[in-house]
């Protein structure tokens, strides 16, 4: 009995058969609708950037009089999500992504789809 359990124990201790633990993706939620924007942020060498800041400014409500600013930082895989964006037709959002002196901006238009995926490579300003 002990001999049969030994190979399983050795395989477990050496990491064979274990799934690599995925990083939790940081999410900021505006609670204004069902639209989302998923980001993967890298530098010019395609290395993921940790704690790159993703900012979006949202105008909503009657005549766009209400305003909200959201920010989320990326995890060690360079990933983050902005959720709860308004799902009105033809709504546009501009996301500013920064990490130190690196930056870029992307646009999202809900008429192109409510769940956007962005792979952003940051460059020197």
Identify the CATH number of the domain in which residue 76 sits.
2.60.40.1120
Do the domain assignments include residue 109?
yes
- pLDDT at residue 25, rounded to an integer: 97
Do the domain assignments include residue 8?
no
Express each pLDDT in 64-73 by its tens digit: 899 999 999 9
pLDDT band (50, 70, 90) for residue 62? confident
Do the domain assignments include residue 6?
no
Please provide residue 74's backbone torsions phi and psi, each rounded to the nearest 5 degrees. -80, 155
Do the domain assignments include residue 36?
yes
Do the domain assignments include residue 29?
yes
Average pLDDT, the chain: 86
Q: Indicate the pairing of strand 102-109 with strand 92-99.
A: antiparallel
Domain count, the chain: 1
Do the domain assignments include residue 107?
yes
Do the domain assignments include residue 111?
yes
- How many residues does the structure list for the chain? 125
Range of the domain at 78: 23-124
Give the residue-averaged pLDDT of 6-33: 66
Strands (E), the chain: 27-29, 35-42, 53-60, 66-73, 79-85, 92-99, 102-109, 115-121, 123-124
Do the domain assignments include residue 98?
yes
Query: How far apart (Å, rounded) are the C-alpha atoms in residues 92 and 85?
Result: 10
Q: Are 80 and 2 in contact (CB under 8 A)?
A: no
CA 97 remoteness from chain centre: 11
């Amino acid at each position: 009995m002990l001999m049969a359990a030994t190979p399983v124990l050795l395989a477990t201790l050496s990491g064979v058969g274990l799934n690599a633990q995925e990083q939790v993706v940081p999410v900021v939620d505006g609670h204004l609708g069902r639209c989302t924007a998923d980001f993967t942020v890298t530098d010019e060498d395609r290395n993921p950037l940790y704690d790159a800041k993703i900012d979006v400014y949202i105008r909503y409500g009657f005549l766009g009089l209400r305003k909200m600013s959201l920010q989320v930082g990326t995890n060690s895989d360079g990933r983050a999500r902005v959720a709860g964006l308004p799902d009105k037709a033809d709504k546009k959002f501009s996301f500013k992504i920064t990490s130190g002196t690196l930056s870029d901006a992307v646009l999202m238009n809900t008429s192109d789809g409510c769940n956007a995926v962005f792979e952003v490579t940051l460059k020197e300003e």
